[in-house]
């Protein structure tokens, strides 16, 4: 049997605390199609490779930990992807680019050293984002790696949107509103420009509030495809309540907790791990569990989430001088019609009229309009694809790098 022609590929890595999501993209095709996608789950306990639409493989004992899991993934890709060797480049999601990086960059030791200084700004994410970068530099030192930042899409904000009412020296030190989920919002902005006119007529150049609702949740004001403002700020804790994070919080609460004897690490753990939907409900941080629960605290947590989201839509609409469309994306946004319904009802005063049956039918399988034909403000469900956005940026940087 004749062997297939080897392909040049881009590997995209989106690493969490115990999992590594990946997609392999065909660099030889201008459309940049995904050849494979999956994740390595259970890192540190019982690691296994799960391929979408394919097999599940349990990793051998020597492959435990991030370096071992990545080495196993590299060997598996060489065997199954027909890539003819290692990927040409590897793109990574990195949550915080801090004040130093307003665009995506090729990784070197200096970049890694700078990104490590931002770990206190994103303690849930940054260490996990950097771990595979370090491991791959040891395993495959000659492969180009690109860091793609969740903060980059928001870095063209006007200063009015980015400042806190703090002394100038703190702003110069980098204490400012960064915003996050930028890769998701950038994908949504591009996708709106591509969607057929009957689905999203003239919205790409309009005033859009995009709602990235998942375990981490935020909203973004996008006008003519550019970020204008966002609910998240200095860290990924501000704005909407999330699975385990509180969202908007009076800083006086932190001072009170310090007066009660809690130290910095204890407060950090509380705010990142024990608040949000988990703290309010006492049941779970997962919306699916809360929707299935008969506990009134679970209902309250969901009502609180919807209430705060409604407030955020009004605020972001004010930042743009109005709103033409509301877009739901990410796990909750794409797959929880009752949450979408509650949020849309709180936006009726803006001119949004929800199409009930269309909303119930939308499940994240594709772009769906969920507002009525006569609704002044349009509403859509648009599945996000952060990995594709990373691949696109990596391809662009790879072209400049060579």
Residues noted as catalytic: 150
Tokens for 263?
């130290």
Asked if 283 and 296 touch (Cβ cutoff 8 Å), the reply is no
Tokens for 253?
């609460």
Q: How far is it between the farthest Cα atoms of the chain?
A: 73
- How far apart are alpha carbons 335 and 320 in whole angstroms? 28
- How far apart are alpha carbons 184 and 39 in whole angstroms? 19
Helix/strand/coil (H/E/C) assignment for every residue in 248-302: CCCHHHHHHHHHCCCCHHHHHHHHHHCCHHHHHHCCCCCHHHHHHCCCHHHHHHH
Asked if 70 and 139 touch (Cβ cutoff 8 Å), the reply is yes
Contacts with 109 (C-beta within 8 Å, 6 or more apart), sequence order: none
Strand segments (E) across 100-206: 105-106, 144-149
Nearest to 138 by CA among 107, 162, 159, 101: 107
Burial of residue 335 (CB within 10 Å: 0-12, 13-18, 19+) is buried
- How far apart are alpha carbons 246 and 270 in whole angstroms? 9
């Amino acid at each position: 049997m004749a062997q297939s022609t080897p392909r040049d590929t881009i590997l995209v890595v989106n690493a969490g605390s115990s999992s590594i999501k990946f997609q392999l993209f065909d660099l030889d095709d201008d459309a940049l199609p995904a050849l494979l996608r999956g994740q390595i789950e259970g890192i540190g306990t019982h690691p296994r490779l799960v391929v979408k639409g394919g097999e599940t493989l349990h990793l051998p004992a020597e492959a435990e930990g991030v370096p071992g899991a990545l080495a196993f993934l590299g060997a598996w890709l060489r065997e199954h992807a027909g890539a003819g060797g290692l990927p040409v480049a590897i793109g990574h999601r990195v949550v915080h680019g801090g004040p130093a990086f307003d665009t995506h960059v090729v990784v070197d030791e200096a970049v890694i050293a700078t990104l490590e200084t931002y770990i206190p700004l994103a303690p849930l994410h940054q260490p996990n984002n950097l771990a595979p970068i370090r491991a791959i530099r040891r395993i495959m030192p000659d492969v180009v790696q690109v860091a793609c930042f969740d903060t980059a899409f928001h870095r063209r904000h006007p200063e009015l949107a980015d400042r806190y009412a703090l002394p100038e020296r703190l702003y110069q030190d980098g204490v400012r509103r960064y915003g996050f989920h930028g890769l998701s919002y950038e994908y949504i902005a591009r996708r709106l420009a591509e969607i057929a006119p009957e689905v999203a007529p003239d919205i790409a150049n309009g005033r859009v509030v995009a709602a990235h609702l998942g375990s981490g949740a935020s909203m973004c004001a996008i006008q003519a495809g550019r970020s204008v403002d966002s609910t998240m700020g200095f860290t990924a804790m501000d704005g909407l309540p999330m699975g385990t994070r509180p969202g908007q919080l009076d800083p006086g609460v932190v001072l009170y907790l310090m007066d009660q004897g809690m130290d910095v690490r204890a407060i950090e753990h509380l705010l990142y791990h024990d608040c949000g939907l988990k703290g309010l409900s006492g049941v779970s941080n997962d919306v699916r569990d809360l929707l299935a629960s008969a506990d009134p605290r679970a209902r309250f947590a969901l009502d609180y989430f919807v209430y705060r989201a409604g407030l955020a839509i009004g605020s972001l609409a004010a930042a743009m001088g109005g709103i033409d469309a509301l877009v739901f994306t990410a796990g909750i946004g794409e797959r929880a019609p009752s949450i979408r319904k509650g949020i849309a009802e709180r936006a009726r005063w803006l001119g949004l009229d929800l199409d009930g049956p269309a909303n119930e039918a939308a499940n994240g399988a594709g772009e769906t309009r969920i507002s009525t034909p006569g609704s002044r403000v349009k509403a859509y469900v648009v599945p996000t694809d952060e990995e594709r956005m990373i691949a696109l940026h990596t391809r662009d940087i790879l072209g400049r790098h060579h």
